[in-house]
Structure 1
């Protein structure tokens, strides 16, 4: 039987009807209500009511620190009204179907490990570059969540002395960081440009855009090297919208090779690739998580 799979984001809730092999049979999206939990859950119920006769389970991907066994959202990410909410229990108020939930970055890692570019890898890391940097860690073929379900929250990694949320990886290696670096160099407002425009200017030879890319790629490579020293992954896969730009992957590889060349000893060179799935990665990973953590 098919599953209703939802990818909850800060601006939209993407949903799909998927079979057990992750084929998307039907899809759509709704704007994410930001005013209250009641508005939010009403949209989920609306989607459920549309498909309830065609499914036998619900799988969710969502932002925040999440206990996938219980469904409790320990830290809500972009949706503050979800703080300490057990979303599985709330959904069970209008359905008896099994429900599962997992962090969106971890879902991306599950998707790659299941049928993507980490398939057959015993160890690997996924970095999802967006507003911040999410992702997940695969160890011995399984998703590693850590003691408090916080593993893979790469946005919080320090890149210098921390004063509040300054000097964190989210502001140094994300799509946001690329736009910030470029807008600062051009002395323009951050909201007047986006990542797509920056890459257009990189291709056109704009020196400020190229410099911004090199700086962000360096920050990414440095943190990836640190992660390599801790986890020794076979691969690190890069996801998020800007990962579709081959120039980014090429620049990261160059920066990593520069780091390796400066070491006075030989270390393994990690393989860096794009993720196989982009906008569908969270849906695919949420479906995979359903098999492990569905709650009746």
Structure 2
């Protein structure tokens, strides 16, 4: 009986995944042109396709991100991807492939998150990375100025690979140990117009809206934290070893469009964070064939 029930549940989830994927693809089609035909051989991109093609995680100004978050189709795209995430539609035997798909799908949930000062987290991170250059101190040049965006971004990255989770855990522990305060505080959901009721990327707790001085005095961890700061392992003291692609090849790290990029074109934000594409997504982004490359960030 249990096996039959599980099989039926799996089939239902599969149907939801297929239907939602079709609905996503349909959103990208200009319905008026589909019904009435194309005049003058000019295809008009609708709001949904314009949003997807823009890639909400790309590096852009705060004002440009605000405009993107005003896209009339944003909520529709975000809701469809949430359905895919909730039904485990990105499950894959390739953990990197699955992680990349989940990160891209969940990107719409965090891309419009702001601080209480109405600064968008993703453009802020891009600006900090760009300003830091290729030689930087992670804590003093990047993390300390992220405020609540660090923890919100870290919670988002828990959907990533084990390497990205370890890197974010290490960043939080290292920077907390070096004196950066408030890294356990997520940004308030009241400052994210597309936050879902059960989100783990922002906080609905009242104290998030209180003065920073009060927040710094409180050591109570958020109940939404999946990895409490007190239990973080000393990953920087005992770094996880990752096999290099080639014993003779040296990783070259540059910055392009506000992102870290290695010589293979693989993109990451912070250390070990993979934002490559995925062939599991119904459209866009493309597949990035990347092995675990977080090790080269430890040398950056």
TM-score by length of 1: 0.31
Larger relative strand fraction: 1
More helix by share: 2
TM-score normalized by the length of structure 2: 0.30
